[in-house]
Amino acid sequence: MEAKRLKEKIESYRDEMVKTLMEFVSINSVNPAFGGPGELKKAEWLESKLKDMGFEFERYDAEDERAEGGVRPNLVVKAPGKDSSRTLWFVSHMDVVPEGDRTLWKKDPFEPYIENGRIYGRGSEDNGGSLVASLFALKALVDLGIEPQMNTGLVFVADEEAGSERGIRFLINKNIFKEKDLFVVPDAGVPDGSFVEIAEKSILWLRFTVSGKQVHASTPNLGLNASRVAMNFLSELDRLLHEVFPMKDESFSPPESTFEPTKRLSNVDNVNTVPGSDISFFDCRVLPQVKLDDVLEVARSLAAIHSRKTGAEIKVDVVQRHDAPEPTPKDSEAVTRLSKAIESCRGVKPVIGGIGGGTCAAHFREKGWHAVVWSTIEGTAHQPNENKRIEDLIADALVFAFMMAE
C-alpha cells in the first residue's frame, strides 16, 4: 500500500521533476580540473530550490582558486527518521565533464531539450537525473507524512569527476557521516535497473611528457620529433599493458582491466613545424588483484627503453591514483535494502557486481562503510547528446522513496 501511495505521489511530480532536471542541465558546472567554472552557480540554484521545497540544509565549501568564486560547494540535506542513531544517505554530484566536440551534439549541450521521452544535455544522466530523483523521493515522504525508518540524508557534492578531493573526501574529513550509516550512490547502472554495484576497480591516470627538439619540418634531421616518439611509445605501451595484465574477473563489467589512451594536448599550431614536445594521457581502470605499482613499473620501464633508443626524454607522472578498497559485502544491509526496493518497485531480480569505478562509493568503502551504487541509465554519460529517460527519472525516485520508507 505504501509503495502505491509513493508511486502516485511521485508521478504527480513528473512535470516539476522534468523542469528541475532541465534547469540543472542549463547551468554549466564543468569541473575546474578540465577548465570549467565549477559548481558555485549550480549550488546556489539548488539552495534556492531546497528553500522553496522547505528542506533544511548546510553548505560546506572547499577552497579552490581555479573555480568560480574560489570555492567548491557541497550541500547536505538531512531529514529525521524513526531511528535517529544512523542515516541512510543518497550521494550525487553537481560537477560535469566538458562537452567535447560540440559539432557532435544536435544542440548546445547546456540548452536542454526533450525528444522521444528523453531530456538531452550535459549532466542529464551523469549525475543530474539521480540528484533530482533523490530530491523528489524525499519530498514524496514529507508530503505524504511518512516518517523515514532512519534519518535520511541527501548529499550534493562537488569534484566527483576529478577525484573527489574537494567533494565527498572533503565531507568525510568533516565527520559528516558515521560508521553505522548506509550509503547509496546513484551514479552507475544498466537500462533495466537490475545492476547493483558493490565493488570498483583501481584507478590510475597517467601523463606522458615526451621532450624532443623542435625544428622546421623541411629539416627533420636537425631535430627530434616528439610526436613520433610519443606515438610509437604509446602504441607499444597500449599493447604491452594488455599483454602483461590479461586476467579477467567476471563479477566486473567489463571483466578485464582497461588501459585507454585519452587526452592529448596541443603541440604546435602550424603544419610545417616538427614538435619538440608531446603530452598524452592514459586512463587505467585496473582489477583489484592487479597492483597499480606493477602497472607503473611497466610504463616507466618502457619509457626508459624508448628514451634510450630515441634520445628523447619521456617522463611518466601520476595524475590520479586510487587503489581499489574492499567491496561492500553482498549480504550487507545496504545491499539487501536496495535489492528489496528494486524487486518491489521494478519487478526485476538484482544482479550484484563491480564496475570500472570512479564513484563516491569507493571513498566510503575505504573507511569500511557499506555503500552501494545503483540507478537506471543507458550509458550516455560523457558522450555527445547525453540524455536521461523521463520514465527512468520517475522510476528511480520511487526506488529511493521505497528505501527511505521501508
CATH number (domain holding residue 241): 3.30.70.360
Catalytic choice (39, 159, 160, 200)? 160
Whether 19 and 92 share a structural domain: yes
> What pLDDT, in 10s, does the model give residues 126-164?
999 999 999 999 999 999 999 999 999 999 999 999 999
Question: Is 108 an active-site residue?
Answer: no
* pLDDT exceeds cutoff 60 at 1: no
* pLDDT exceeds cutoff 90 at 406: no
Predicted pLDDT of residue 19: 98
Last residue of a domain, one of 299, 322, 345: 322
Whether 316 and 386 share a structural domain: no
Whether 57 and 108 share a structural domain: yes
Catalytic choice (95, 126, 159, 278)? 95
Q: What is the mean pLDDT of residues 71-81?
A: 97
Q: What is the mean pLDDT of residues 78-104?
A: 97
Rounded Cα distance, 375 and 369, in Å: 20
Whether 159 and 52 share a structural domain: yes
Predicted pLDDT of residue 261: 98
Whether 376 and 247 share a structural domain: no
Last residue of a domain, one of 269, 299, 322: 322
Rounded Cα distance, 159 and 163, in Å: 7
Last residue of a domain, one of 293, 322, 351: 322
> What pLDDT, in 10s, does the model give residues 314-326?
999 999 999 999 9
> What pLDDT, in 10s, does the model give residues 93-136?
999 999 999 999 999 999 999 999 999 999 999 999 999 999 99
Q: How many domains does the chain have?
A: 2
How many angstroms separate the Cα of 354 from the Cα of each of 240, 254, 269, 384?
A: 25, 9, 43, 25
Residue in 377, 376, 403, 373 with CA at minimum distance from that of residue 197? 373
Whether 273 and 133 share a structural domain: no
CB 163 within 8 A of CB 32: no
Query: How many degrees, rounded to 5, is the angle at CA 168 between CA 164 and CA 172?
Result: 130
β-pairing, 83-93 vs 57-63, is: unpaired
Q: Which domain holds residue 318?
A: 202-322
* pLDDT exceeds cutoff 70 at 280: yes
Predicted pLDDT of residue 2: 76
Q: At 161, list the grid cell.
A: 569527476
Question: Is 95 an active-site residue?
Answer: yes
Whether 122 and 62 share a structural domain: yes
Whether 250 and 121 share a structural domain: no
CATH number (domain holding residue 164): 3.40.630.10
Whether 302 and 359 share a structural domain: no
Element (H or E) spanning 283, and its range? strand 277-286
Whether 195 and 209 share a structural domain: no
Say how far residue 97 (Cα) sits from the centre of its chain. 9
Q: What is the mean pLDDT of residues 165-187?
A: 97
Whether 14 and 136 share a structural domain: yes
pTM over 0.85: yes
Residue in 181, 180, 139, 179 with CA at minimum distance from that of residue 10? 139
Whether 357 and 245 share a structural domain: no
Q: What is the mean pLDDT of residues 202-207?
A: 97
Q: At 144, list the grid cell.
A: 505524504
Predicted pLDDT of residue 358: 86
Summary mean pLDDT of the chain: 97
